[in-house]
Amino acid sequence: MKLTLNQRYFLGAAAVILACLAGILVAYPKLPPMVPIHWNAHGQPDDWGPKWSLFLWGPGMMVGLVALFAALPWLSPRKFDVNTFRPTYLYIMIALIAMLAYLNLLTLMAALGVMTDIGRAVVGGVCLLIALLGNVFGKVRRNFYIGIRTPWTIADERVWNKTHRLAGKLSFACGLIGLILVLAHAPVWVAIIAAVAGPIVPAFYSLFYYKQLEHRGELNHG
């Protein structure tokens, strides 16, 4: 039986979740009673929780994210339906699930004392995620949940499309630059600034382009 696009992506997400669950179960007997669950800007743990909470922060959050992505097509209003870019939508879901799985792995390694510089590892993962999302930003169509959702992109489809084409190029480039900086052991804050510039700059551009269209009387609010 040939699987549909939806089935392939959701089964892939389920496989990642099960792999994370299995990893926690294998490591569970070796974990201390309290494990780090949050780190400060210097990469030092500043909050702990019982080791069973790893099931909530790992597989639990991933199940919740998959459920949300399953529900959003039904919740979307007409003309803003995420089904208009279904393959990209599902790609974004898998990218976010993979990121949560990566964070789950880092948390386990920190709890077992295998990794100490978790802050740099997290920033590197976020930079890679931004690059991966940037690779498909140009295919995201107007909706209320995913993308550069400013008042000006929501108001006009041309502003949305042009903003996201720019966001795609910048996010991909800035995410890769941030990742290279992390691997080169540059200060973490430098990598963060480089990475977040990709999604932030297009948000300001959307206002600029909207005002251009408004000045020329070319806005389409449909």
Q: What is the pLDDT of residue 1?
A: 64
DSSP H helical ranges for the chain: 5-27, 54-55, 61-75, 86-111, 118-134, 151-155, 157-183, 188-216
Domain boundary among 101, 116, 131: 116
- 170 and 203 in one domain? yes
Query: CA nearest 151: which of 217, 219, 85, 75?
Result: 219
- 100 and 137 in one domain? no
Query: 53-62, 70-79, 136-145, 158-167 — which is least confidently predicted?
Result: 70-79
Q: What is the pLDDT of residue 221?
A: 55
- 170 and 156 in one domain? yes
Q: What is the pLDDT of residue 41?
A: 66
Structural domain containing residue 43: 1-116
- C-alpha 28: how far from chain center: 27
- 192 and 100 in one domain? no
202 contacts 167 by C-beta, under 8 angstroms: yes
Domain boundary among 116, 132, 167: 116
DSSP lists the bridge partners of residue 45 as 39
Total of domains in the chain: 2
Cα(150)–Cα(60) distance, rounded to whole angstroms? 30
Domain boundary among 91, 116, 141: 116
